[in-house]
Structure 1
């Protein structure tokens, strides 16, 4: 095996910038471009441009028409754009409802989307009222494993059952907290229960002392596109899981329903 020599940080940044310039050129022209046109638009030499274009094709960010030999944005690039637009739309319509829920319950409220086997935080609201709170050091953009988070389970549960099984088979069920589910059969059964009840519960599966509840958010077509969750730490509220669910699930479900309706869901 040939050892790869790490590129200097400056070289890596320059490479990223050039790759993004190629994608930007195609996005701005809104039509397929030939290699010479891309090189001209990005001010790269033809050989350098060809190298970056070939890499982007291999990664699925560009596609080449076999007849015209011209390039256009591929599924990976389009998927990024759709995800970005969806996230922006979600945060735009959900912000006020999330803050209201945080103030009503006096607990931190978050919203996340699913990206592969991880969740990505797209919004996070803390109560306006000052109080003693211990929580994870996460912010918008933070990624966490889906299998050991309530929002992750709420999102995984509503995928196609075959896709759920395939996803679970690929996940490394490492122990993250004292009660992390590490058996695949148990996780699959847990996801089926979440799908049945519409509520995901996390009891110290991600970190010691941390509990959370989450419910799904749907778009106009009924597809689950995000999850809203409330985090509770035992140091702030040392209640049973049943007591936490009894007190928080109603306002949590109401908030998710409000956001779903703002997204056009009528169910």
Structure 2
């Protein structure tokens, strides 16, 4: 198979690139407040936000009051703490609906998942996490509470390894040294050296596999989605119980996920030369 080379993107714009001095400090602080809410912190109070973000409590109060008035935050009447509001939810939904990768991938993943009786996932790289854009789960008993916006670990999933393989080696190593690589199973790879070796192999072969590294009894295979520049912008994976994934079926599933990823890539502007040869 053709090597999954990494490519950097350059974008030509008519205007100069914004610098830190061009940005609004007030808007940045408001976005920091919104970004503080996650799976580990679904609700936060003013004092907690001020402490977490190292901001003055009065500043945080004014930001929260504004976000609440615009329905980007809402207050839980029982706890008096704040949580993400309807306006933030709707804005996030617009991201998914208007995203060409999502629109090209989901119908194809639904077909593949139904045809092969597997679970299918679409994700992109966000900071140091796998960010799930879609989760199509048809298989039991192995299903996950994953939905659009959920985050996953880079080091224990085939999706994560594919997304890491789209970066340069220096970026991969920096990321792996920055994240907390917790062993989720006895087979989880938590060595930077070991993961670097796996990522390089993913680049060479054009796909990633995992077996019992995230959850015992789960096998998966993932492949990259590329844009017009050839850069890896997302990844898809197919998963099933490990005891059903014999060598012959996993080879078939690998060809399927690579072909599906190619079709999605072409739909969002990639060229044949920029895609991995699945033959």
TM-score normalised by the shorter chain: which range applies? Answer: 0.5 to 0.7
User: Given the alignment, which residue of 99, 106, 113 partners 1:88?
Assistant: 99
Match of 2:66 among 7, 18, 34: 18
1:192 paired to 2:200: yes
Deviation at 1:178, TM superposition (A): 2.4
Aligned equivalent of 2:253: 248
User: CA separation in 1, counterparts of 2:65 and 2:264?
Assistant: 37
Q: Take 1:93 and 1:142, find their aligned partners in 2: how far apart are those partners?
A: 20
Please say which of residues 204-213 and 86-95 is displaced more in the overlay: 86-95
1:178 aligned partner:
186
Q: Is the 8 A contact 2:155 2:190 kept in 1?
A: no
Structure 1 or 2, whichever has the larger Rg, is 1
User: Aligned pair 1:157/2:205, yes or no?
Assistant: no
CA distance in 2: counterparts of 1:93 and 1:225, whole angstroms: 13
Q: Distance in 1 between matches of 2:49 and 2:254?
A: 50
1:102 to 113, 118, 121: 113
- Displaced runs of 4 or more, over 3 A: 4-8, 11-17, 19-22, 83-87, 237-240
The residue aligned with 2:176 is 168
SS in 1 for 2:66: helix
In structure 2, runs of 5+ residues without a counterpart are 1-45, 51-57, 73-90, 274-279
Contact kept, 8 Å, 1:112 with 1:121, in 2: the verdict is yes
The separation in 1 between residues aligned to 2:49 and 2:202, in whole angstroms, is 45
SS at 1:227's partner residue?
strand
Whole-angstrom CA distance in 2 between matches of 1:163 and 1:87 = 29
1:14 offset after TM fit, Å? 7.2
Give the secondary-structure state (helix, strand or coil) at the position aligned to 1:147. Answer: coil
Give the TM-score of the pair, scaled to structure 2.
Answer: 0.63
Q: Indicate the RMSD between aligned Cα atoms, in angstroms.
A: 3.1
- Find the counterpart in structure 2 of residue 264 from structure 1: 269
- What is the alpha-carbon distance in structure 2 between the residues aligned to residue 231 and residue 213 of structure 1? 7
Q: How many residues align?
A: 199
The answer for the alignment partner of 1:117 in structure 2 is: 128
Q: Which has the higher contact order (CA 8 A, sep 6+)?
A: 2
